[in-house]
Amino acid sequence: MNTLNTYRSLKQRRHVRLVFFVILGLGLLMSGCGSDADRLPKMGVAPDFTLEDVTGKPYQFHQDAGKVRLLSFIYTTCPTECPAMTHWMLVVQKELKAKGIGPDQVQFYSITFDPEVDTPEVMEDFIHRFKYQDEPIDEDYWRLLRGSVEATRQVAQDFHLLVQPLDDGTFIHSDKVILVDKEGEIRYLYNGSNLPVEDVIRDMSALVK
């Protein structure tokens, strides 16, 4: 009797384990059925703003509605985070271009919060220091934006990013890179100084569709 009961108990346990793994497998399969875009939460509408490009022409953020957008806030004398962010964003830009995704579909932004130092010429010089596979940025994909100190820092504040000037001319600042979809919804905040390039390429490609 004990042997029979033991056999039945083992059989029941195997059955329970089998059911568990079947349910788990179905759950994983179903979670994979959604698109990459579906897994990016909508985090609120991105604030609209007006700044200037490096030619001095006014630029309003909603002009690029219909494009998937990737924004960074920088200053050109930054010793660490800003060069890293810019480099990794360039890698993303080049890889998207290689996939056939054009500047009519995606847009990249470098917005300075130190416009007193970052003149248009300084910003142009800064951005052209960066190369990926010996190629510089494609200017059609990229907007370099600036404005008054008050205006640019207000834009950063509207995106809930920290910008704190220090006495030595450097800044304590957020290194977040912001993903905005075609409808103007914020979809993700990435760690910019260690940007997960493959994730960003996947996410932007999904939102383009």
Task: Show the beta-strand stretches assigned E in the chain.
Answer: 50-53, 58-60, 68-74, 106-112, 131-132, 135-136, 142-146, 163-165, 171-173, 176-180, 186-191
Same domain, 58 and 42: yes
pLDDT at position 39 is 79
The answer, yes or no, to whether residue 29 has pLDDT greater than 80, is no
19 and 89 share one domain: no
137 and 102 co-located in one domain? yes
Domain holding 158, by residue range, is 38-208
Mean per-residue pLDDT of the chain: 87
- Domain count for the chain: 2
Residue numbers in the known binding site for Cu cation are 78, 82, 173
Residue ranges of the annotated binding site are 78, 82, 173
User: Mean pLDDT across the stretch 26-54?
Assistant: 75
| Of 160 and 35, the one with more pLDDT | 160
168-184 pLDDT tens trace: 999 999 999 999 999 99
188 and 89, same domain (yes or no) = yes
Shared-domain flag, residues 25 and 49: no
H or E, element range at 166: none
Write down the pTM of the prediction.
0.81
| 100 and 173 together in one domain | yes
CATH number for position 71: 3.40.30.10
pLDDT tens-digit map of 64-97: 999 999 999 999 999 999 999 999 999 999 999 9
Mean pLDDT of 106-114: 98
**Chain-centre distance for alpha carbon 140:** 18
**pLDDT digits over 118-129, tens only?**
999 999 999 999
Q: Does one domain contain both 20 and 65? A: no
What is the number of residues in the chain?
209
37 pLDDT more than 70? no
Residues 170 and 77 in one domain: yes
